[in-house]
Structures are given as structure tokens and as C-alpha cells.
Amino acid sequence: MQDTLISTLLRAALEETGAKRGSLILSHRGEHQVAAEATCHNKSVDVNLRDSNVVQSLLPQSVLDYVLRTRETIVINDESSEVTFGFRVAARQAASILCMPLLYQAELIGVLLLESDTASGVFTPTRIRIMKLIASLTASALENSRLYNDLREREANLRRLVDANVIGICIVDIRGPILESNDAYLRMLGYKREDLVSSRLRWTDLTPPEWRDADRQRVERVKRIGRLQPFDKEFFRKDGTRVPVLMGVARFTQRRTQAVVFALDMSRQKRAEAVTQESRKIACMRISRRTHDALLQNFQAMIFRFQAVRNLMTRHPEEALGSLNDAIHDGVTALDESRDVIQDLG
């Protein structure tokens, strides 16, 4: 479609103005590419589609910069080109040049370059007005064509993602029914394609009771802003077990009661987390048991020492003082070891 528009524009431009050569430069996201070139031979216009960078031999950078900056249509010849733009038209084997921006809603879609072997009487005000109308209509059509191609490319990318079945994807009515899904989504929940076709599947029925209040709030948020950041929830499988999922939701712009849902099965991650937590719990129990045994032994030893100190206090005070100091040292050591164990538990 875009190639046809480009060819039609260049043919109309050369036929309407009597120019001998023409080029169309398309702009997108700050990049400028030569989309096509046309030449007139014996009242026949040949158009060659291209996709190449703009070079100075086609259009001096000073001219392109001027049109990009001013969004103006300009006609240049040797009387104006050397003074204003720093080059001579005659050196390009032309007598005059028309450079016209293609605008759509004030955005530059491209630049039309026409060259004539005649210095005057070709790019007249009347012909320029007609070309501006043609250029305006073409710019609108080219932009719509580009948007359509972008949309088709995004749809193709989404379709490849859906068909890859790496992640569960479905289209839902936010009021309950599941309208469409890929195999990954059905497999995650344990359902078959015929279950979906029968229209029995409703995401509201698949949601466990404790998640439904949060879902009602999310539905209201989707209605307001059209999307949800990823969040965790659970679904019932067909066999009644539960599957934890990480979900994202985006509402359609036109069909405002419908949304696309992305659901990632988190069962493996949850099982891995559970195993990690269980392993940590077992490790903590072992450390606690070891700490208990060590503290019990240390405190029993300290009690024995204190009893010995009590017995020696009256008869051998110096020996009793030494035993008391040893008991205090053992107590400090036991406390330090306990602190280290508690830090390991944290």
C-alpha cells in the first residue's frame, strides 16, 4: 500500500509540474531515508523504489535542514541557491528545484524534491498550490499506512508470543467470562480447548474466595486507568488444586469491557521458595538445638563452680576467688557464643 502511494505521488508531481526528476524522502523518528526516485522520459514517468540514506548529491544538507526547520516549501535556482544555501543548481544539471515538506498534523512525514531543466515557468504558484494539496493528502495516507503497518507488526509480535505458549495469555470480559486464550493458559489451569469453546470458563469462578475482594478493586482500577502492574494471586485448577500466578492486565481501548491478561505460573518458584524456607527452618532448628545443648552445659558447669566457691569461701578464700574468676570468664564466653549463634539465626 505504501509503495503504491509513493509511486502515485511522484507520478502526479512530475506530470503536474513538468519536472524531469523527483525524489521522496521519508522521515521517521529523526531518521531520513530516500523512499523513491522518479524520472520523466518522453512523457513517461519511471519510478524506482529505494530505501537508502540521504546523500549530498541528492539533496544538499543545507536545503534539508532549512525545510526541516521552517516546514516551508521553497523554489531555488542559481539566483538564490548559492547565496542562501551555498551550492549552485546548475552544478546538479538542473535549472530549478522545488523542495516541499509533507506534513500531517504539523508533523513532518517527508520531503518531496522536484528538479526541472527550466529555470522559470515550471514551479508556478498555481502548480505549487495543487502540489501542496496532493502532498497533504499523501502525507495523511502515508502516516495512516505507517500506523497500520506498525499495528500489524505489533499484532504479529503478539501473535508470536501467544503461539509460543511460553506464558499464559487470555482475553477476558472484566465482568467474568474468558473469551479466548492460548494453550499455555488452559494447560496451567488443567482445562481443554472445548472447555473454553463451551463458554463455561469464568475467571471470577476460578478465583478463590479470599482473592475476590482484591480482584473487585483491581477491576475498578482497570476501568479507570486501563492497566494493572504485575501482581500475585491464585486460581483454582480444574481438579480443585490451586496454582499461584503472576499476572498483568491491560484493557482494550475500544472494547472497554475486555482486557488481555498475562499469567505466569509461579508453582516452581513457590515450591523452590518453600524448599528454601523449609531448609532454613531445619537449619535454624539444628542451630537452636546446638545452642541449647551448649548453654545447658556451660550453665551446669558454672553452677558447679559457684557451689565449689561457696564451699571454699570460709576455708580457702584465695582459692575461692580464683574459682569465681574462672566461672565469670566461662559465663562471658558462653554469652559471646550465644550472641554469635543468634546472629547466625538472623
Q: What is the mean pLDDT of residues 209-227?
A: 91
- The more confident residue out of 197 and 81 is 197
Domain interval for residue 332: 275-345
Percent residues over pLDDT 70 in the chain: 71
Q: Is residue 270 part of a domain?
A: no
* pTM (2 d.p.): 0.48
Give the Cα separation of 111 and 108 in Å (integer): 8
Residue 4's H or E segment, with its range, is helix 2-17
- The more confident residue out of 260 and 86 is 260
Of 156-160, 203-207, 253-257, give the lowest mean pLDDT range.
156-160
Q: Is there a single domain that holds both residue 133 and residue 19?
A: yes
Among 208, 231, 265, the domain-final residue is 265
| Residue range 281-298, pLDDT digits in tens | 776 777 677 766 766 676
Give the Cα separation of 195 and 206 in Å (integer): 13
pLDDT recorded at residue 308? 67
For the chain, counts of helices (H) and of strands (E): 9, 11
Strand segments, DSSP code E, in 118-207 are: 168-173, 178-181
Q: Is there a single domain that holds both residue 111 and residue 17?
A: yes
pLDDT recorded at residue 96? 81
164 sits in the region (left: phi over 0; alpha: psi -120 to 50; else beta) called alpha
Q: Is there a single domain that holds both residue 24 and residue 152?
A: yes
Give the Cα separation of 39 and 23 in Å (integer): 9
At 13, the pLDDT band (50, 70, 90 cuts) reads: confident
- The more confident residue out of 91 and 325 is 325
Q: What is the mean pLDDT of residues 334-342?
A: 66
Q: Is residue 281 part of a domain?
A: yes
At 233, the pLDDT band (50, 70, 90 cuts) reads: very high
Q: Is there a single domain that holds both residue 310 and residue 171?
A: no
Give the DSSP letter string of 93-110.
T-SEEEEEEEEETTEEEE
Average of per-residue pLDDT values in the chain = 79
Q: What is the mean pLDDT of residues 24-36?
A: 82
Q: Is there a single domain that holds both residue 80 and residue 38?
A: yes
Q: The CATH number of the domain where 324 resides is what?
A: 1.20.5
Highest mean pLDDT among 49-63, 160-174, 189-203, 228-242: 228-242
* pLDDT at residue 235 is higher than 90: yes
C-alpha grid cell, residue 287? 542451630
pLDDT recorded at residue 313? 67
Q: The CATH number of the domain where 125 resides is what?
A: 3.30.450.40
pLDDT recorded at residue 208? 93
pLDDT recorded at residue 97? 82
Q: Is there a single domain that holds both residue 279 and residue 207?
A: no
Q: The CATH number of the domain where 223 resides is what?
A: 3.30.450.20
Q: What is the mean pLDDT of residues 271-280?
A: 69
pLDDT recorded at residue 252? 86
At 79, the pLDDT band (50, 70, 90 cuts) reads: low
Q: Is there a single domain that holds both residue 259 and residue 293?
A: no
Q: Is there a single domain that holds both residue 57 and residue 93?
A: yes
Q: Is residue 186 part of a domain?
A: yes
At 306, the pLDDT band (50, 70, 90 cuts) reads: low
- Bridge partners of 77, per DSSP, are 96
Among 211, 237, 265, the domain-final residue is 265
Q: Is there a single domain that holds both residue 104 and residue 85?
A: yes
Q: What is the mean pLDDT of residues 233-256?
A: 89
Q: Is there a single domain that holds both residue 119 and residue 51?
A: yes
Total domains in the fold of the chain: 3
Q: Is there a single domain that holds both residue 38 and residue 76?
A: yes
pLDDT recorded at residue 160? 62
Handedness of CA 175, 176, 177, 183 (dihedral sign): positive
Could you tell me the CA-to-CA distances from 248 to 167, 186, 264 in Å, in that order? Answer: 11, 17, 9
Q: Is there a single domain that holds both residue 81 and residue 181?
A: no
- The more confident residue out of 104 and 321 is 104
Q: Is residue 190 part of a domain?
A: yes
Q: Is residue 57 part of a domain?
A: yes
Among 90, 125, 156, the domain-final residue is 156
Give the Cα separation of 344 and 337 in Å (integer): 11
C-alpha grid cell, residue 314? 570460709
Highest mean pLDDT among 53-67, 136-150, 197-211, 255-269: 197-211
pLDDT recorded at residue 344? 60
